[in-house]
């Protein structure tokens, strides 16, 4: 009786366990959408309890199984904890993309792109797909992969694909350009691909306006020049741009023409002007190699020497006119002073004559005679005396007590 009871209990327990196991298998198949059977056939089945916990925590058990299958196929030893983190990601497409990036970086043997590193980058908002694709392209070209510079460039808003394009383009044209230099060029605000093409083929720039300069003989020259700029990739970062080169070319043209004795020196031999410009070091501390310079046109302009002489003659004429006007004004002032002086002399003479008549020193007839003659008779007598002494009437006047001297004023 006891043995029969134990057998029945054992069968019941075994049946219950089988039912539970079957339910777990059905649940695992349901949660993984049939992918659990593939892991079972590979003898690496996923624990149904783990799948249930993933589902209970809000994860995707089917994603867990899918990623584990992909890792098993690629031979990547991913831990269950890492797979659970991927299954708990908000975006299933993002988790699938991350798994694809992990598989591709593993096949390409990019040691820096570890699963944990890619997971952290994906969690930080970076596009690991573009990052891994760029690293794989650089790796396949035979160049060393500097993943840290690509990551830093993408964190600053750059595109790692552009860096890969620049590096591969430079390698195809035998130009030395690494990832570090390409990212530095991009971070400086320049297109690295365009920089590579400009390093291969120079870009021609013409001066916007003719450069006007005057030779020592006074003849003006109007010169139009072109400059072929070839980029130096080693000096793109920290070097001056093309505006500096063009400004230096203009300055060199002005300096060369201004130092020429005759304007025909460069008008007849433009090559001499090109040599002078090249010797001025217009590409110093810039991002370009020494440029090729060509003179497009040289035209003689205005004869500034003749214009300067004509202007000087006009200035001399204006100065002579101003001096003449000043002299006329001085003569008029002198005339006014002499008139005032005569009136003062007349008044003094009349008052003196009246005083002598009142005092009875002269008679009425003498008064009338002297009043009719006026002070001229006295001046005539004085003039005769001064002429005898060798002085002129003007000298006598200027030496008189009423003339002040330098400014011609009356005391």
Three-class HEC string of 88-110:
CCCCHHHHHHHHHHHHHHHHCCC
pTM here? 0.55
How much is the average pLDDT of 174-190? 84
> What domain range is 340 assigned to?
320-398
Residues 176 and 208 in one domain: no
Residue 211, H or E segment: strand 211-214
In a domain, 107, yes or no: no
In a domain, 49, yes or no: no
Select the more confidently predicted residue: 83 or 314: 314
In a domain, 50, yes or no: no
> Buried (b) or exposed (e) across 124-156, using 16+ Cβ within 10 A?
eebbbebbbbbbbbbbeeebebbbebbbebbee
In the chain, the number of structural domains is: 3
Q: Is 290 helix (H, G, I), strand (E, B) or coil?
A: coil
Cα distance between residue 248 and residue 242, in whole Å? 10
Residues 343 and 288 in one domain: no
* Mean pLDDT value across the chain: 75
In a domain, 51, yes or no: no
Sequence-separated (6 or more) residues with CB below 8 Å from residue 354: none
Residues 338 and 384 in one domain: yes
Does the pLDDT value for residue 208 go beyond 50?
Answer: yes
> What is the tens place of the pLDDT at every residue in 32-49?
555 555 454 443 555 555
Does the pLDDT value for residue 170 go beyond 60?
Answer: yes
Residue 74, H or E segment: helix 61-74
Last residue of a domain, one of 166, 201, 236: 201
Q: In this predicted structure, what is the pLDDT of residue 41?
A: 44
Residues 194 and 210 in one domain: no
Q: In this predicted structure, what is the pLDDT of residue 346?
A: 82
In a domain, 297, yes or no: yes
Cα distance between residue 210 and residue 225, in whole Å? 8
Last residue of a domain, one of 274, 306, 338: 306
In a domain, 231, yes or no: yes
- Give the residue among 47, 85, 45 at the shortest CA–CA distance from 63: 85
Last residue of a domain, one of 183, 201, 219: 201
Q: What pLDDT band is residue 20 in, cutting at 50, 70 and 90?
A: low
Does the pLDDT value for residue 390 go beyond 80?
Answer: no
């Amino acid at each position: 009786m006891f043995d029969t009871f134990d057998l029945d209990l054992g069968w019941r327990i075994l049946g219950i366990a089988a039912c539970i196991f079957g339910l777990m298998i059905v649940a695992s198949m349901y949660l993984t959408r049939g992918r659990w059977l593939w892991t079972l056939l590979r003898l690496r089945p996923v624990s149904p309890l783990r799948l249930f916990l993933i589902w209970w925590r809000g994860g995707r058990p089917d994603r867990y199984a899918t990623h584990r299958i992909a890792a098993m196929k690629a031979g990547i030893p991913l831990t269950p904890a890492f797979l659970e983190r991927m299954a708990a990601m908000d975006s299933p497409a993002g988790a699938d993309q991350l798994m694809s990036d992990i598989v591709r970086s593993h096949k390409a043997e990019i040691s820096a792109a570890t699963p944990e590193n890619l997971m952290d980058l994906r969690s930080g908002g970076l596009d690991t797909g573009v990052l891994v694709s760029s690293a794989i392209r650089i790796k396949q070209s035979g160049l060393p992969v500097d993943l840290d510079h690509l990551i830093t460039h993408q964190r600053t808003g750059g595109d790692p694909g552009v860096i890969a394009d620049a590096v591969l383009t430079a390698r195809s044209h035998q130009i030395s350009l690494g990832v570090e230099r390409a990212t530095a060029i991009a971070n400086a605000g320049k297109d690295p691909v365009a920089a590579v093409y400009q390093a291969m083929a120079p870009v021609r720039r013409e001066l916007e306006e003719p450069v006007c300069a005057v030779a020592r003989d006074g003849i003006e020259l109007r010169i139009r020049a072109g400059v072929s700029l070839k980029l130096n990739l080693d000096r793109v970062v920290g070097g001056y741009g093309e505006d500096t080169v063009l400004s230096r070319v203009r300055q060199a043209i002005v300096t060369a023409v201004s130092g020429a004795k005759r304007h025909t020196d460069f008008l007849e031999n433009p090559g001499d002007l090109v040599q002078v410009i090249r010797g001025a070091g217009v590409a110093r501390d810039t991002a370009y190699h020494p440029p090729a310079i060509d003179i497009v046109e040289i035209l003689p302009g205005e004869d500034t020497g003749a214009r300067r002489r004509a202007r000087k003659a006009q200035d001399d004429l204006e100065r002579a006119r101003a001096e003449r006007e000043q002299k006329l004004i001085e003569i008029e002032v002198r005339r006014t002073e002499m008139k005032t002086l005569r009136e003062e002399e007349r008044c003094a003479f009349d008052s003196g004559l009246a005083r002598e008549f009142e005092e009875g020193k002269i008679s009425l007839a003498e008064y009338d005679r002297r009043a009719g003659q006026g002070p001229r008779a006295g001046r005539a007598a004085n003039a005769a005396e001064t002429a005898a002494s060798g002085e002129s009437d003007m000298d006598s006047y200027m030496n008189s007590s009423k003339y002040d001297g330098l400014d011609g004023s009356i005391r």
